[in-house]
Amino acid sequence: MSVNADLQRERAAATLDSEDFARWWAGGSLLLEERRTLERRFYADPDFAESVHPSCLSYKERYEQTVARSTRFLAKLRQWQRERQPQLQLSVNMLRDFRMLLSGSVGTALFQQSFPLRVHFTMFMTTLLSQGTEEQQAQWLNRAWHMDGVLGTYAQTELGHGSFIRGLETRADYDPLTQEFILNTPTQSSYKWWPGGLGNTANVAIVLAQLYVKGNHYGLQSFVVRIRDERTHEPLTGVDVGDIGPRLGGNGVNNGFLGLHDVRIPRNQMLMKNAQVLTDGTFVQGRPPLLLYGTMVYVRVIILKDVLFGLLQGATIATRYSVVRRQSRINNDEPEVSILDHITQQAKILPQIARGVSYRLVSDWLWRFYDEVIRQLEDESTPERNSLPELHALSCCLKAVATDEASEGVDRLRKSCGGHGFLSSANFDSIYGLATAAYTYEGEYTVLLLQAARYLVGQYVDSLKRKVMPSSVSYLRDTARLAWGKNLTANCVRALQISAMEQVRQAWQTQKMHQSSKVSAEMASNLTGRQLTSAAIAHAHAFFTRNALEQLEALRRKGDLSPNISLVLGQLVELFVIDTFLRQSGCVLRWNNGITGTQLRFVERRFEELLAKLRPNAVALVDGFDFHDRVLGSTLGCHDGRVYERLMEEARRNPVNQEPVNSSFHNHLLPMMRGKL
């Protein structure tokens, strides 16, 4: 099949070898070829072809199609896994890799609106691993992995409560006579609401509920609750369960509601690795209660990878389309140019590529940090080493800011494609729907910022006391003013750090001021909310920029990068830092009043220079992300650039166009015209 001539010219003129970049991006030649082999296994299978565009299906049809495809997908995937590794060892890392496969290229290609068993393989199984005893894991984990009568979900969020998990109303009362827990959702607002797969797919749920024993409250605990019959799938007695209806995106997930009315479960179905209820009702607290929320931290760490994937999907579509699409002349005596030749279009697209690549560098570091913290917590010989608060704060503010900027970035990329970007066949609706959903799930944006800000204020107070500080917040004790040097990138990072430090200081001072007026500490925090959220956002920007630069330098020291990749990555990370600085310029100039107009113009000029340097490699870069056409799912972003042909092909296979005259003409339009309104 022919390839668009403009795309061919772009690829021929690039100095970056996209295949070389793809090998690095995938983690090496072996991993790249392994993924491509897996993709071919699925994409060549006619069982996974789309006979009609998913947007033309009803909500019910889409769910049923997704479930049917899921079962075929999992059967084929398990066969592939057994060929590679006959004996799989279940672990958090293995589940992380499986989760990334589901939300990565193969999973995205086959399930553009996500996957109804995704929560089963991530939050449900991860919680069993992290919170279940060895006996409980033996009872549930292997069956869950093989889906042997167990299809799970994780039920935390309620109709009336989301991120404020202490406010959850679902109750679990222990009955020492029968050694059972009695679970209830006592109010309408206490119904579980949103869990993925809960509506019609899952038959077992890990339910977070407030534990009561003999009238005493012992906080939130996790309970394994069977909600549907293993053989008939009928809801069990006392269980009210269903689907919550269509959403803005992710309509393959089957989000559901769950009401529990005097549902009894055995004592051993409370997950008891970190806390126990003995047969007589004695409550025993084991490891730190914060570990109960480890599943959320785990998912927040992974969400950063999810949103960078979606952002780069959108950037690939927009970049290829912007080469194919010709619009307006730059010089009157020359033909219309590719819209990517307009600097205004470059400014919409190239910073999003830079952001996605920089997020990748930071997310790799964040996962290693998560691993390190888990090892610390498992090592009981060094209880004084606990980086969990730092990890929690980082995962909160980075998740909040990354999902906000990624969803904004995807929408900007859609807009950069003009009217065609608004078509469902462009696939920005699916990409945006998943990106913007991540803004809210596993911690609502503002709530997470406030949690991170509380940590930052505490660390700022510690800095005043000259205490040892974690590395991510060590800049809070650096009160030196900005000394503008020759290194623009270093200037930008330091200016962002000063802005963050000053906003944390202002938040602390504002809290103190409100507390001095005799209001409660809680009210003082509420009145300081705007300053606290601003401080957390500023901290996230300062951390993202500094860490991306540090990770790039670490890769260069290891010698993992070819000269060309090192050069282009350096340009991308620098563009990310400068773009962040310019986007935050209001905050930066407020707290760094020594920055002059001349210095700011230097930054803006460098921003435009980087656009010009990256422009010749734009197509090679997005080719290097190695998204198969099925992954992009877009008429605008295919590798061959046949945009207009694909748009017309998709229009012609629209079910509405399968008959020359729609029945609505004879049933409605013709009678109306005869009536001569």
> Annotated binding residues, as ranges?
157, 196
3-class state of residue 165 by DSSP: helix
Contact 193/244 with Cβ under 8 angstroms?
yes
Q: Which helix (H) or strand (E) holds 174?
A: strand 171-175
Strands 180-184 and 263-266: antiparallel
Contact 22/32 with Cβ under 8 angstroms?
yes
**Cα distance between residue 144 and residue 162, in whole Å:** 26
For this structure, is 604 an active site residue?
no
Report which of 367, 366, 368, 325 is spatially closest to residue 348, judged by C-alpha positions.
325
Q: Which helix (H) or strand (E) holds 167?
A: none
> Which parts are annotated binding residues for FAD?
157, 196
- Can you say how many angstroms the Cα of residue 261 is from the centroid of all Cα atoms in its chain? 34
Name, in order, each residue with C-beta under 8 angstroms of 267's C-beta and a sequence gap of 6 or more: 174, 179, 180, 181, 277, 279
Report which of 428, 427, 401, 397 is spatially closest to residue 412, judged by C-alpha positions.
428
Extended beta strands in 234-359, E state: 239-243, 256-260, 263-266, 275-277, 283-285
**Cα distance between residue 186 and residue 412, in whole Å:** 44
Contact 392/470 with Cβ under 8 angstroms?
no
Instruction: Give the number of other CB atoms < 10 A from CB of residue 369.
Output: 18
Angle between helices 445-464 and 388-416 (to 10 degrees): 130
| Phi, psi at 205, each rounded to 5° | -130, 140
> In 379-426, where does DSSP find H-type helix?
388-416
Angle between helices 488-516 and 445-464 (to 10 degrees): 90
| CA separation, residue 497 to residues 122, 306, 673 (Å) | 35, 26, 68
CA angle (616 as vertex; 612, 619 as ends), nearest 5: 125
Name, in order, each residue with C-beta under 8 angstroms of 313's C-beta and a sequence gap of 6 or more: 108, 427, 431, 627, 631, 632
**Cα distance between residue 532 and residue 52, in whole Å:** 48
| Phi, psi at 38, each rounded to 5° | -65, -40
Strands 171-175 and 204-213: parallel
Instruction: Give exposure, 617-650, as e/b (b: 16+ Cβ within 10 Å).
Output: bbbbbbbbbbbbebbbbbbbbbbbbbbeebbeeb
Burial of 419 (0-12, 13-18, 19+ CB in 10 A): exposed
Angle between helices 563-583 and 343-378 (to 10 degrees): 100
Place of tokens 């193969």: 106
| CA separation, residue 152 to residues 116, 122, 229, 295, 616 (Å) | 10, 10, 13, 14, 48
Strands 256-260 and 216-226: unpaired
Strands 204-213 and 152-155: parallel
**Marked catalytic residue, from 442, 550, 574, 650:** 442
Q: Which helix (H) or strand (E) holds 266?
A: strand 263-266
**Cα distance between residue 411 and residue 408, in whole Å:** 5
Active site residue ranges: 442
